[in-house]
Amino acid sequence: MSIDLNGLSPKELDLLITKAKARKTTLKKRKPVATVRSKLRQLAEAEGYTIAELFGGRATKSTATATRKVAKKGRKLGKVAPKYRNPANPKETWTGRGKQPRWMAALTKKGKKVEDFLIKK
């Protein structure tokens, strides 16, 4: 947020300063977000709920890992070495699994072939 102070009159500047001080006081009185989040999580767990069940949205870390373990039960995918490398940025690689990375999609749209990016062994 940027406010152009050059165009404000002294009266408007005083009003802005007053509002800013009031906002600063309000923010100082609040407890840190981590503290409030921790209290909410403890209260929810004490009642047998998760934060995700109560408020929806993204699940907490423990809920997400529990869900992931169930989902992985059927098949196991091992780690795969990268097959393709971005010539402009060698740190960017792709195994060939899943959706093409943006850098490869952009270069293939320009006429390059996927084989051009193969890592030579």
Q: pLDDT tens digit string along 81-100?
A: 999 999 999 999 999 988 99
pTM score: 0.38
Per-residue confidence band for 3, with pLDDT thresholds at 50, 70 and 90 = confident
Per-residue confidence band for 78, with pLDDT thresholds at 50, 70 and 90 = confident
Interval 49-67 mean pLDDT: 67
Beta bridge partners, 93, equal: 85
**What percent of the chain has pLDDT above 90?**
46
- The closest of 7, 32, 3 to 19, measured between CA atoms, is 3
